[in-house]
Amino acid sequence: MTFPLPFAPRRIAIGANAHVGIAESIRARRPDLELRGKVFTEITADDLEWAEAYIGFKRPPSVSDMGNVRWIQCTGAGVDSWMASDLDPRILLTRSPESFGPMIAEWAVSRIFAIQLQVLELAAAQRERRWAPRDIARVAGTRALVVGTGDIGRAIASSLQALGVHVTGVSRSGAASSPAFSAVHASSELADLVGNADWIVVAVPDTPASRGLISREVLSRCRGAVLLNAGRGSVVEEAALPDALEKGWLRGAALDVFATEPLPADSPLWSDPRVMVSPHISGLTTIDGAAHGFLECLDSLERGELPKWVVDRARGY
């Protein structure tokens, strides 16, 4: 894209729950900047007319456009909330350089152990004061298919490999740089790969290429796997999940992201004991990460360079 450089904004609006902490962290390094922060739902059109740059994960819901803002720093790795908002193409969109891989890997590992060790079933038996011996299989020696081999997918693969899990990767190109993957295949081969997996871990963003990647057809090729989704809800054909569980294509699911968030109260996923629901918390932005990411990109713009973290809007990341 063509963006006028250098760009040295001085009026910055922050739309985030942690806006006070983010502003304090930025102000400690750049006291010359004017900062105005609110919870993103309270950002007004006047705030955006005042601002030259905006820091936030989502577009403020009460505004029709971004006013005078010429640069948006998304505080998350996924920028789908901005891509879906008919954003003016003249606005520069950058994303956070913060690594969410380690935290999301912990989320995935915790769910895999909870399911394999039958933690929820044992907790239910304890509440009933019922002694419930059972066979427990080890996680080591199982097979994981990690869909997405970027920063997050590599962190998940490394954690699982350390536990003795055999890890195969799936990427758009069929290539990855991490030795944690025993093999990497192109996403076009996905339907042929899921039948050999005990765990299918989704770690891709919402892009035109990834939407519906885990389709009913792909799910029907599974043989009792557990699906874990920490990518985006749009990647999985969510309406097919109840059927996939009933037919035994899946034996369980751990879901952190959904097609509609919050997950509607009438979704059958809430009440299915084979499903673990979490409210999009597998990888959270930190205050220091949000501030550092903004300042790193600002430094590049002030030097007359496009930041490394500019979003390719055609690809969606």
Catalytic residues: 232, 261, 280
Q: How far apart are CA 128 and CA 149, in angstroms?
A: 42
- Token look-up 């002694």 returns 131
Does residue 310 sit in helix, strand or coil?
A: strand
Cβ atoms < 10 Å from Cβ of 180: 21
For residue 61, which of 80, 40, 81 has the smallest C-alpha distance? 40
Radius of gyration (Cα) for the chain, nearest Å? 21
Please report, for the chain, how many H helices and E strands are present, in that order: 10, 12
Dihedrals φ, ψ of 113, to 5°? Answer: -70, -40
User: Is-contact 170 176, C-beta < 8 A?
Assistant: no
- Token look-up 């959904």 returns 258
Cβ atoms < 10 Å from Cβ of 299: 12
For residue 77, which of 200, 262, 230, 192 has the smallest C-alpha distance? 230
Does residue 295 sit in helix, strand or coil?
A: helix
User: Is-contact 63 43, C-beta < 8 A?
Assistant: yes
User: Is-contact 107 283, C-beta < 8 A?
Assistant: yes
Asked, as a colleague might, if the bond just before 6 is cis with ω within 30 of 0, I would say yes
Length of the chain in terms of residues written? 317
Residues 6+ away with beta carbon under 8 Å from 171? 148, 149, 153, 184, 185, 186, 187
